[in-house]
Amino acid sequence: MSKKELHQTGIVITRPSHQTGEIKALVNEHQGHPIEFPLLEIQSKSQNETFQNIVLTLNDYDWAIFISSNAVQFGMPAVKHAFHTLPESTKFAAIGPSTQKALKLFDVNHVLIPEENFDSEGLLATEEMNDIKNKKIVIFRGEGGRETLAETLRARGAEVTYAECYTRTFPQTNLDLLKLSLKKFIFQRFLLQALRHVKSLFV
């Protein structure tokens, strides 16, 4: 079977449901059969009272940091609802270019991102994040997660608050459903989580 042909091949996609559109389109384009089997789902917490109260005081913060595109997707609608014009006193930062791009969809055009190493450590290495003594910073993120960013910013003298706008759940409990789906197909099955893994099938 050609690497570019997926006829009679079941492709198991384990990404969260809201992130599978481009992958499914690629699989269908190459005559494959996408099987959605998300191992992780993202659920909004943006209606949570604590989160809403933080959003309403966004103009009190010097920096708003977004950890991921999910943080933008589930956090920024509430921000835009609360502020028709974003507070000029609040600067925005993101972990990397994907999150920066997501913020631009909400008219946030000036976003600090690392020059390299698109992670917490990369953002902490920027000049701006080394000059935050007595600054107020809000971090938009999912429930739980790494503490490196907040702990380091606090050690540098900042006051840090979390705005947790989504939570992660693990929906799959029955592998028998997946086995039944795969029985329909003749050829090799692929377990895929990232878009780059799908694209590698077609080169």
pLDDT digits (tens, 9 = 90+) for 49-79: 999 999 999 999 999 999 999 999 999 999 9
Question: Domain for residue 75, yes or no?
Answer: yes
Residue 104 lies in a domain: yes
Pair (72, 157) in one structural domain: yes
Residue 200 within any structural domain of the chain: no
Model pLDDT, residue 193: 56
More confident residue, 139 or 177: 139
Residues 15 and 60 in one domain: no
Q: Same domain, yes or no, for 59 and 73? A: yes
150: which 2 tokens?
């907040």
Rounded CA-CA distance 137/185 in Å is: 51
How many structural domains are present in the chain? 2
Asked whether the beta carbons of 140 and 51 are under 8 A apart, the reply is no
Domain span at residue 36 reads 9-40+170-191
Tell me the Ramachandran region of residue 101: left when phi exceeds 0, alpha when psi lies from -120 to 50, beta otherwise: alpha
Question: 119 and 54, same structural domain?
Answer: yes
Same domain, 94 and 125: yes
CB within 8 Å of 35: residues ≥ 6 apart:
10, 11, 12, 13, 178, 181, 182
Residue 41 buriedness (CB in 10 A; 0-12 / 13-18 / 19+)? middle
- CA pair distance 35, 28, nearest whole angstrom: 11
8-37 confidence digits (pLDDT tens): 788 888 777 777 778 888 888 888 888 877
The strand pair at 190-192 and 91-94 is best described as unpaired
1 domain-assigned: no
Q: What is the pTM of this model?
A: 0.73
